[in-house]
Amino acid sequence: MLNLRIGELMPENKEKEDFQYIVRIASMDLKGERDVVLALSDLKGVGIRLAETLTKKLNIDEKMRLGDLDEETTQKIKDYIESEEFEGIPRWMLNNRSEPVSGKDVNLVGQDLNVQIQDNINAMKKIRSYRGIRHETKHKVRGQRTRSNGRKGLTVGVQRKKE
C-alpha cells in the first residue's frame, strides 16, 4: 500500500526568480501566466492567427508562458508589434491595408487602431457616403435588416393599424 503525503503527489510549483507576472506591450498589460500566443491575442488588433504567425517569425516557442521569456525576447516582440509595418507577414493578415495617407500596409495595435477607426468613420461622415450617413443616424451600417432587430427607445413593440 502506498503511503504518500499530499505534497508528494502534487508537482512542486517553483516559479523562476525572474518570472514576470505582467508584461507591458503596446501600452497594455498582458498576463505573464498565459501562453505567448494567447497573451498576444489579448492586444486589440492582434488575433490568434496573427499571434501564431508572429511567434513563428520571431522563432519563439508558442507553448511557453509570456512571463518565462527573457528580457531580450520580450523586447524583440515589443519592437516588432509597435513598429506597425510587419515585414514578412502576408498582406491579407494586416488590419489597415493601403492606408489612405501613406498608402502602406500596416497593422495597428491598441489605441492607434481605435484612433484610426474613428478617423475613418469621421471621413465617411464628412464626404456624406452611405455608410457615413448610417453612422450619423445610428442605424445598422453593414446591410443588416432593421425591421425587427436593432430597435432602441420607447417604442419597441409591434404597432398595429388603427381601425
Beta bridge partners of 25: 28
> Residue 1 — very low, low, confident or very high, per pLDDT cuts 50/70/90?
low
Each residue of 19-31: b (16+ CB within 10 Å) or e? ebeebebbeeebe
Global pTM reads: 0.73
Q: What is the CATH number of domain 22-88?
A: 1.10.8.50
Residue whose cell numbers read 489597415: 96
For the stretch 56-113, pLDDT in tens is 999 999 889 999 999 999 999 999 998 878 888 899 999 888 877 788 888 899 898 9
Q: Give start-end residues of each CATH 1.10.8.50 domain in the chain.
A: 22-88
Residue range 30-44: mean pLDDT, rounded: 93
12 vs 44, residue with greater confidence = 44
